[in-house]
Amino acid sequence: MRKCGTALRLGCMRVVVTGGTGFVGREIVGQLVREGHSVRVVSRGVRSPVPGADRVCGSVLEPESLPAAFRGCEAVVHLVGIISEIGKQTFEQVHAEGTRHVIAACEVVGIRRLVHMSALGTRAGARSRYHQSKWHGEERVRASQLAWTVFRPSLIYGPGDGFVTLFARMARWSPVLLVLGSGRQQFQPVAVKEVAQCFVGALRHPESAGRTFDLCGPERLTMNELLRAIASVMGRPRLQLHLPWKMASLQARILECVFPVVFRSAPPLNRDQVLMLQEDNIGDPEPAWRLFGIEPVRFSDGIRAFLRPES
């Protein structure tokens, strides 16, 4: 790992990132490197996902691997999360127990600063097991003796995401876009660059410690409006076909049975997601915008930066 010295900016830190190989993680790692931090990515893969960052082998599900991976660092950015379960990778194991393992490793090696990824909608008594497990993870963070910051993002979009990119691909070949339920549930989509700016900014702002922030975009848009915006930016208006929730839940149940057995992978839709999609996913982004100096971009402008109109 590169040592923080005169070649790096004043105030740089030695930062270890879990979940740094994912969609959001790559953006956060990239911004950390560009700011001059010395970055170590904990993963089970072979390479670091971003030039300038180092990689060390480890997993939040293997607690014995974490102290060595964390040693010598000053802060942890904990991003590990799953949206579908498969095998031992359950919501509770990854989001709650994995977080407990991260905190324990911080205590062993003397790391005091933790920036933690949660999710908007996380709360006590949530309907979905995803949000329940995220809440249990948050509770472990709050109960720790670390200087912690928790972020709860809404729907995150950007190049290579799992939402805009998926529906853009569908709009290229299908005259119809499938919508679960009425499509009137509200979201506040937020650009991945803005999410990363907040995570990186938390390391510059000690006053963010002990606080939980919603990370949301400036607009509250229904699912119907989100899909219309994607199709419009691409220049391919599409009809929307609404699938009743009961049918969506049945489809999710079938996919949960088929994908792990046949494809050895998590299903593209599960019943927990169906539950979460029935709720509004909105929050108050103002505290994060003010503290971290974010100028949020509107959804249509944000996706126009990486989607191109079809000829």
* Confidence at residue 300, expressed as pLDDT on a 0 to 100 scale: 97
In order of start, what are the domains of the chain with their CATH numbers? Answer: 14-155+192-215+283-296 (3.40.50.720)
| Separation between Cα atoms, residue 269 and residue 253, nearest integer Å | 9
pLDDT at residue number 176: 95
Give Cα 56 distance to the centre of its chain: 21
**pTM to 2 decimals?**
0.93
The pLDDT, as a whole number, for residue 98 is 98
CA–CA separation, 90 and 69 (whole Å): 23
* DSSP string for residues in 169-180: HHHHH-SEEEEE
* pLDDT of res. 186: 98
Contact (Cβ atoms closer than 8 angstroms) between residue 162 and residue 23: yes
Check residue 64 and give its pLDDT.
98
Per-residue pLDDT at 3: 42
Average pLDDT along the chain, 311 residues, taken 10 residues at a time: 41 93 96 96 80 94 97 98 93 98 98 98 96 98 98 97 93 93 97 98 97 98 97 94 96 94 90 96 97 96 87 44
Rounded to 5 degrees, φ, ψ at 239 are: -70, 155
Hey, what amino acid is at 265? S
Q: What are phi and psi of 279, to 5 degrees?
A: -105, 150
